[in-house]
Each structure stands twice: as structure tokens, then as C-alpha cells.
């Protein structure tokens, strides 16, 4: 059973707080090679995803939970169940080439949104890794995209 939707989730402060936390996590992750900031709640693994800003053309880095699937890296555009897609997802739609850092390893990848069939196959594994994704999906009307990052 999903947790109730938190009060204030739509507050304009939520994206700002998330951005600040992401910047802090990115800084410590890079400085420590992922030893600090490389795990989230209940041990879910964290990577750093770097995209090209669709408006600025500048690199944008975001810490995300990820699932390894062979050579692929799978991430979820949940944004904590907020009603809009995260900026990194919109950046990948504009330019699918990206870089992922897992601890000290840097991967050059290309992104695509999982098909409905792929999402249905991956979703249970993602929930096993981080059950809150299910709550996030219940808090929003949008279908939370699952993104597959594959070697270029």
C-alpha cells in the first residue's frame, strides 16, 4: 500500500531543496570517488548522470539511483513523484548522449526511454532496489519514465 502523498510536495521550495541536495551530493561524490554519496536509503546505489543542457548547452550533473542491467544502466525519472518530468530527462530527450559516473568509472552512454514492455519488465526490479518508486508513481498522474542508458 502506497504511503500518503506528503503535504507540500507541490511547494515551489521542493525543487529548490532537491536541487541543493543534488549539488551537495554531486560535490561529495566526485571528491570521494563515490565512496561518500554512492548509496542512498536502504543501500540503493547512486550514480552521477551528466547531460547537456537543452537550453544552455552546458554540462548538467545529477545524482540518481541506478540499476545495472548487463552493460546497460537504468535510471528512473521520478523526481520524487512531482507532477513534472525532471530537467535531466528533458535534456536527454533533446540530446541522448550522456556520461555516467559509477564510483570512479566513467561511462559514455546513449539514453532512450524504455518501451512499455521494457518498463513492465524493469519496474519490479527497480521497486526491489528502491520501493519508494512505487509511492512516487502513486503520487503523480504522469507515467514515470524508466530510462535505459546503453553504450554508444
Per residue in 84-139, pLDDT (tens digit) is 999 999 999 999 999 999 999 999 999 999 999 999 999 999 999 999 999 999 99
pLDDT number for residue 122: 98
- Cα separation, 150 vs 70, whole angstroms: 10
CATH code (residue 125): 2.30.110.10
Residue 6 counted as domain residue: no
Number of domains in the chain: 1
The pLDDT, as a whole number, for residue 6 is 61
How many Cβ atoms from other residues are within 10 Å of residue 128's Cβ?
10
Asked if 22 contacts 28 with a C-beta cutoff of 8 angstroms, the reply is no
Cell numbers 508513481 label which residue? 137
Residue 101 CA to residue 49 CA, distance in Å, equals: 7
Indicate the pTM of the whole model.
0.88
Q: Is residue 3 part of a domain?
A: no
DSSP annotation of 151: E
Domain that holds residue 72: 13-151
Residue 95 CB contacts under 8 Å (≥ 6 apart), including other chains: 51, 52, 54
What pLDDT score was predicted for residue 37?
A: 84
Amino acid at each position: 500500500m502506497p504511503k500518503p502523498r506528503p503535504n507540500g510536495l507541490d511547494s515551489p521550495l521542493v525543487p529548490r531543496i532537491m536541487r541543493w541536495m543534488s549539488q551537495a551530493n554531486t560535490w561529495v561524490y566526485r571528491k570521494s570517488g563515490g565512496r561518500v554519496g554512492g548509496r542512498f536509503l536502504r543501500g540503493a546505489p547512486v550514480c552521477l548522470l551528466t547531460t547537456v543542457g537543452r537550453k544552455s548547452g552546458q554540462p548538467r550533473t545529477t545524482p540518481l539511483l541506478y540499476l545495472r542491467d548487463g552493460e546497460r544502466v537504468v535510471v528512473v525519472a521520478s523526481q520524487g513523484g512531482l507532477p513534472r518530468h525532471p530537467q535531466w530527462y528533458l535534456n536527454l530527450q533533446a540530446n541522448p548522449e550522456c556520461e555516467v559516473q559509477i564510483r570512479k568509472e566513467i561511462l559514455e552512454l546513449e539514453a532512450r526511454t524504455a518501451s512499455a514492455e521494457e518498463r513492465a519488465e524493469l519496474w519490479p526490479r527497480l521497486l526491489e532496489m528502491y520501493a519508494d518508486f512505487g509511492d512516487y508513481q502513486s503520487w503523480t498522474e504522469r507515467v514515470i519514465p524508466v530510462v535505459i542508458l546503453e553504450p554508444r
